[in-house]
Amino acid sequence: MADERPQPVQQDAPPVSEPIVKRKKKKKKLGKLTMFFWLLLLGLGTAVGMHLSGIWDGRPLFWEIIPKVPYVGKQLSEFFDVPEFYALSVGERRAVELEQWQRRLDARERELESGDLSRLAIYDSSFHAIFHECSAD
């Protein structure tokens, strides 16, 4: 009796299967070109927003870039009414600036000379009045 042990009753257990391994999905990295595109778009949006709100005036930058666009720059310049001054090369622009500077200097010099003549006339008339008063005494 001691040798007779009752056999354990085996229950129908589900078959042991291999553990399910869940694959982690790899996150796609943002490519350098995609990141550059998004940063460029963000910068452009910021610049447009600042220009429209009046914080920054973007016209000079826009006017300098538009005529330099290959093939269509001239048509875009005409469409956006870009002043001809900004379509000039650096040397041509410098020559125009020097001409404008010289005209302003000439105008200022004429203004000062006319002012000196009027002041001289005032001094001359007051000097004659004082001289006549002194000589009358």
Query: Considering the chain, what is the average pLDDT of its residues?
Result: 80
Indicate the domain borders of the chain.
Answer: 90-137
For residue range 20-51, what is the model confidence (pLDDT) as tens digits? 777 777 777 778 899 999 999 999 999 999 99
- Sign of the four-CA dihedral 123, 128, 133, 137: positive
What per-residue confidence (pLDDT) applies to 17?
Answer: 65
Token pair listed for 76: 């875009």
Tokens 């000439």: give the residue. 106
Distances (CA, A) of 66 to 33, 86, 87, 88: 24, 9, 8, 12
Distances (CA, A) of 45 to 8, 49, 100, 122, 125: 77, 6, 36, 62, 67
What per-residue confidence (pLDDT) applies to 88?
Answer: 78
What per-residue confidence (pLDDT) applies to 49?
Answer: 94
What per-residue confidence (pLDDT) applies to 84?
Answer: 82
The residue ranges of the chain whose pLDDT is under 50 are none
Could you tell me the pTM of the whole model? 0.44
